[in-house]
Amino acid sequence: MKKLMGHSLMLFAVTFIMGVYLVPLADRPAIAEEDSVTISGRITSITYGFFTPFGNRRAEIVVQDRSGREHVIRVGQRTAYIPHRTPTAGDRVSIVCIRQDDTLSGVTVSYK
């Protein structure tokens, strides 16, 4: 009986320690949603980068908001466009961004 009690106590301890370390990793999307920023304005320029080895193309979009401030936003394969089309200079957009390594990365681009 003591041996069974010792095994169950050890299993509980291992499960508890794994839960403490794995629960914050599972909650990453919630953290990203809290850090999101929405920028609305007109696209002033688009600079396309090179194709990456897996066929996706990256670009940097410069958006000028109503106050005249320009924001450089990186977009790529994971960016969703609503409706689905390539943005052009002069389009009025609303972009939901997240901060990654001191840059803004576009998650969703909505045309107005």
Residue 62 has pLDDT above 90, yes or no: yes
- Judge if 17 and 41 occupy the same domain: no
The pTM for the full model equals 0.62
Model pLDDT for residues 30-40, shown as the tens digit of each residue: 555 557 889 99
Domain that holds residue 103: 35-111
- Judge if 104 and 55 occupy the same domain: yes
Q: pLDDT band for position 53 (50/70/90)?
A: low
CA dihedral 49, 52, 57, 63 (to 10 degrees): -50
- Judge if 61 and 89 occupy the same domain: yes
Q: What domain count does the chain have?
A: 2
Model pLDDT for residues 13-50, shown as the tens digit of each residue: 777 777 666 665 555 555 555 578 899 999 999 888 76
